[in-house]
Amino acid sequence: MTRRGAHAVPDLVARAREGDPAAVARLITLVEDASPLLREVMSALGPDAGRAHVLGITGAPGVGKSTSTNALVAGMRRAGKRVGVLAIDPSSPFSGGALLGDRVRMGDHALDRDVYIRSMGARGHLGGLAWSTPQAVRVLDAAGCDVVVLETVGVGQSEVEVAGLADTTLVLLAPGMGDGIQAAKAGILEIGDVYAVNKADREGADRTRRELRTMLTMAERRDGAWRPPVLQTVASTGQGIDELLAELDRHAAWLRESGELARRRTVRARREVEAIALAALRERWGRADAGADLDALAERVVTGEVDPYAAADELLADGRSFG
Amino acid sequence: MTRRGAHAVPDLVARAREGDPAAVARLITLVEDASPLLREVMSALGPDAGRAHVLGITGAPGVGKSTSTNALVAGMRRAGKRVGVLAIDPSSPFSGGALLGDRVRMGDHALDRDVYIRSMGARGHLGGLAWSTPQAVRVLDAAGCDVVVLETVGVGQSEVEVAGLADTTLVLLAPGMGDGIQAAKAGILEIGDVYAVNKADREGADRTRRELRTMLTMAERRDGAWRPPVLQTVASTGQGIDELLAELDRHAAWLRESGELARRRTVRARREVEAIALAALRERWGRADAGADLDALAERVVTGEVDPYAAADELLADGRSFG
């Protein structure tokens, strides 16, 4: 670690705690870059972790995720909450430069000092979203955010993955998109804590809500389990947003009272710790100066000198001297 | 390991070497199930590895992958080659039971003892395709297959992944599907060693071939590098299949002469060894009787007692006693 780095981290963390947007942005860039300084950053941030409520917002393209996020953030601001927004696109490379674009996109909140908005991608990253997202959340948490919104920009598998990173998952649908097979296929019946049929001024909204409710009712739930409500919104006009915010608050309260919050966060921390450990190992195995160089082992597998299991054993045996 | 297992493996491997289809099927099922016996199987198979040429066949849904595979296998059989076909569907769970369905699908070769046909999925598998595919290839190799065909059944990312598992990658297109943005987006310009515009009796085939050639010409290549040919086929009638087979043979010869074959196989073995090692570690970390139980570490991260990097250090330090 450079002398400059050693001094920079405590200063950055102190400024982030005071809510300095430039310091928050810099710390999240360190997460994006998988900087070696992160170890020190996380050690300094640690004791703060866990105050902010993490809200995941997901749904197929075209349901109005950005508009809904914007409307929900406006409502949270009216309630006096500080909000962080991470727009997560697992298919795009990291890009801190997307900040300006985000501020334009989230036009209503671009000049609001109590809203942090940031894009995060993960393609090609060693540890993936399970690695980077909790660390970015920890930064926003320390900066005093009451809520951190994770908005999925991607499609498909990423929706399910983002749900695993949130305390509360809001699934958005639009009229006509809620038919049974489609919903079941996307796995959205398992991941949602709260559902909203957005664009509810369009034809078919009532039917989509009814079908979704039927499907959710059929899913077996334990006694005392949370029963996901299904709301209707028109995010572009703000219709139904207050009711949606109330349901999200009700779920947050239930999470705390039922003990489910601690359980979900433990699962998340487990994946994060595992991702950090695996990334460290892979990084080490890729180094030519390591005892059991992975490239040399691979060559011996190709020539038939060792089988892949024996090679893996050698690699792991070398891990004994890790650290 | 059970006494029965210890005796079963050498017998199975011996029978697979003699080309017994039931023994081959049983060994690939062990791969699918991530059986603990695999370590012994791979040790016994090891010295045989690397004779079979691995041909990946990929392309968007609707280009005629199954029909093309069928036609190519028929041509290989006419040339007296033994062929193994692995139909890879990363989105489906493992299913050895798909065998019957495969034999129906590959109707022409269902009763041919010198063609092995098998489905493989990977969803939820610890190590993924990088883990399972090379091991299944090794089984087919030992059983005397001259060629192992990996046919992608899935879409999207899996196409690129399968390319990384093959010696030669054949990319299939169909007329009208070859426009620049689409091809570049799918990354197919980087992965193909040989291209075929299938359904070449349809309108637009010449244009698709021309556009693809232009795009491939623009891609920078080193001196002495392979220049991917673009062919036209009508797999359903067999038109162009002999020419395609000749180009595939030419690529296989180039791979051997240029040293690229050894390089590609080393990259693949590297990923395989890494995947085996990581799967072993994750399995170990998930056990409650391990020294540093991952669940206990995760709880301490949630309460703020340790930060995730310190927890990862504890996990890895515990890895010293691995083995």
Q: Which fold has domain A48-258?
A: Rossmann fold (3.40.50)
Q: How far, CA to CA in Å, does B172 sit from each of B77, B241, B269, B300, B311?
A: 21, 12, 26, 51, 47
The angle subtended at Cα A296 by Cα B261 and Cα B45, nearest 5°, is: 65
C-alpha of A219 from chain center: 26
The answer to whether B12 and B25 are in contact (CB under 8 A) is no
User: Where residue A48 falls among pLDDT bands split at 50, 70, 90?
Assistant: low
C-alpha of A223 from chain center: 29
Q: β-pairing, A230-232 with A115-121? A: unpaired
Distance from CA of B70 to the nearest CA of A (A): 29
User: Where residue A201 falls among pLDDT bands split at 50, 70, 90?
Assistant: very high
φ, ψ for residue B221 (rounded to 5)? -135, 145
Q: Which helix (H) or strand (E) holds A138?
A: helix A129-142
Cβ-based contacts of B39 with chain A (< 8 Å) = 309
Once rounded to an integer, what is the mean pLDDT over residues A15-32? Answer: 88
CATH number, domain B48-257, options 3.40.50.300, 3.40.1110.10, 3.30.950.10, 3.40.50.620 = 3.40.50.300
Which segments of chain B does DSSP mark as H helices, in order?
A: 3-17, 21-32, 38-45, 65-78, 99-105, 129-142, 157-163, 180-185, 188-191, 205-218, 241-258, 260-285, 294-302, 308-318
User: Where residue B303 falls among pLDDT bands split at 50, 70, 90?
Assistant: confident
Cβ-based contacts of B49 with chain A (< 8 Å) = 301-302, 304
Decide if pLDDT at A98 tops 60. no
Distance from CA of B229 to the nearest CA of A (A): 28
What is the pLDDT, as a whole number, of residue B70? 92
- Poorest-pLDDT segment among A215-224, A226-235, B14-23, B175-184: B175-184
Nearest chain B residue to A274 by CA distance is B312
User: What value does the mean pLDDT of chain A take?
Assistant: 81
Domain segments of chain A as ranges? 48-258, 272-321
The answer to whether A117 and A106 are in contact (CB under 8 A) is yes
Q: How far, CA to CA in Å, does A228 sit from each of A122, A160, A215, A244, A298?
A: 30, 16, 11, 12, 50
Cβ-based contacts of A277 with chain B (< 8 Å) = 281, 285, 312, 315-316
Secondary structure of residue A193 in the 3-state scheme: coil
In this complex, the residue of A39, A273, A281 whose CB is nearest that of residue B297 is A273
In this complex, the residue of B47, B282, B308 whose CB is nearest that of residue A272 is B308
A vs B, Cβ pairs < 8 A, gives: 162
Q: How far apart are CA A117 and CA A25, in angstroms?
A: 9
Q: Mark yes or no for CB contact A266/B319 under 8 Å.
A: no
- Poorest-pLDDT segment among A185-189, A199-203, B103-107, B114-118: B103-107
Distance from CA of B201 to the nearest CA of A (A): 35
Cβ-based contacts of A312 with chain B (< 8 Å) = 273-274, 276-277, 280
Cβ-based contacts of A281 with chain B (< 8 Å) = 277-278, 281, 316
Q: Considering chain A, what percentage of its residues have pLDDT values greater than 90? A: 35
C-alpha of B251 from chain center: 18
Decide if pLDDT at B155 tops 60. no
pLDDT digits (tens, 9 = 90+) for A204-263: 899 889 988 888 887 767 777 899 999 999 999 999 999 999 999 999 999 999 999 999
Q: Mark yes or no for CB contact B39/A309 under 8 Å.
A: yes
